Amino acid sequence: MNKKSNNHTKPLGGIIVISAPSGAGKTSVCSAIVKSSRSIVYSISYTTRCPRQGEKNGREYFFVDESEFKKMIEEKKFAEWAKVHGNYYGTSKDLLDSVLKTRRNILLEIDVQGGINIKKQYPQACMIFIMTPDIKTLEKRLTARDKDCKKIINVRLNNAKKELKYLNKYEYLVINKQLNETIDTVKTIIKSLEYKIEKNQKYF
Ligand code: 5GP
């Protein structure tokens, strides 16, 4: 082994992108993952949508108005941003970079447009897609959670069908049949990232 190959820089943390149609269980999975490990930090996005009951500014999202969001776009504050279901959402570039520097992993719970955009800039990002066993089950879950009216549910179902077309941009597909099993599967995928060759340069 020559000297040069020992002269590596320490690897940065990893990016984990989790996308899913709304109602597929992504938020429950993400919060369980973040609670289970101190080395995974949740990326709190900025959004122009109104807070839902129980949501707190700076916890689920940073809630901003449209003019502030657009100013942030101009100032290049976002690693990615997208319009989803009529509202703007964006991932803070500062937060992303600062977490990566601490060599922890950052979890991005974002839509497919955002996921694809992140993957282009950070090819090492781990891309996980969560889905219900089928569209019918998704419809049942959206109806059962009683958060949205029929019209909104239909918009979300149509969006889900569109999102599924981008499945090939992802590396892992986890079918959420049973929440605890899904959480364990996602944890296993994340755990496996530690064994990637590029994460283990100290052995070379
Ligand atoms: P909700 O309003 O239900 O919390 O989220 C709506 C959608 O926006 C979800 O698919 C969620 O993953 C996505 N989303 C949340 N934050 C971001 C973000 O920063 N960027 C992008 N592209 N999508 C996001």
Task: Quickly list DSSP for 130-147.
Answer: EE-SSHHHHHHHHHHTT-
**CA gap 133, 153 in Å, rounded:** 18
Mean pLDDT of 96-113: 95
If you average pLDDT over every residue of the chain, what do you get?
91
Ligand 1 pocket test target in 44, 45, 69, 158 with most atoms within 8 Å of CB = 45
* 43 CA closest ligand 1 atom index: 19
Report the candidate in 169, 142, 140, 154 with the shortest Cα–Cα distance to residue 17.
169
Asked if 42 and 152 count as a contact pair (C-beta separation under 8 A), the reply is no
Angle at 28 between CA 143 and CA 31, to 5 degrees: 155
* 61 CA closest ligand 1 atom index: 16
Give per-residue pLDDT as tens, 72-89: 999 999 999 999 988 999
The protein residue whose alpha carbon is closest to atom 12 in ligand 1 is 110
Strand partners, 17: 108, 127
Report the candidate in 172, 179, 38, 155 with the shortest Cα–Cα distance to residue 115.
172
Task: Give residue 204's pLDDT.
Answer: 85
Task: Give residue 1's pLDDT.
Answer: 45
Task: Give residue 79's pLDDT.
Answer: 98
Tell me the CA distances in angstroms from 96 to 48, 50, 54, 83, 137, one per residue in order. Answer: 20, 24, 25, 20, 34
Q: Which distant-in-sequence residues (6+ apart) come within 8 Å of 37 by Cβ? A: 190
- CB of 61 shorter than 6 A to ligand 1: no
The protein residue whose alpha carbon is closest to atom 23 in ligand 1 is 110
Report the candidate in 132, 182, 160 with the shortest Cα–Cα distance to residue 152.
160
Ligand 1 pocket test target in 111, 116, 145, 170 with most atoms within 8 Å of CB = 111
Report the length, in residues, of the chain: 204
Q: Give percent of the chain with pLDDT exceeding 70.
A: 93
Q: Has residue 196 got a pLDDT over 70?
A: yes
Q: Where residue 4 falls among pLDDT bands split at 50, 70, 90?
A: very low
Q: Where residue 3 falls among pLDDT bands split at 50, 70, 90?
A: very low
- CB of 84 shorter than 6 A to ligand 1: yes
Q: Has residue 49 got a pLDDT over 50?
A: yes
Q: Has residue 6 got a pLDDT over 60?
A: no
Q: Where residue 9 falls among pLDDT bands split at 50, 70, 90?
A: low
- Residue 58: both structure tokens together: 């700076």
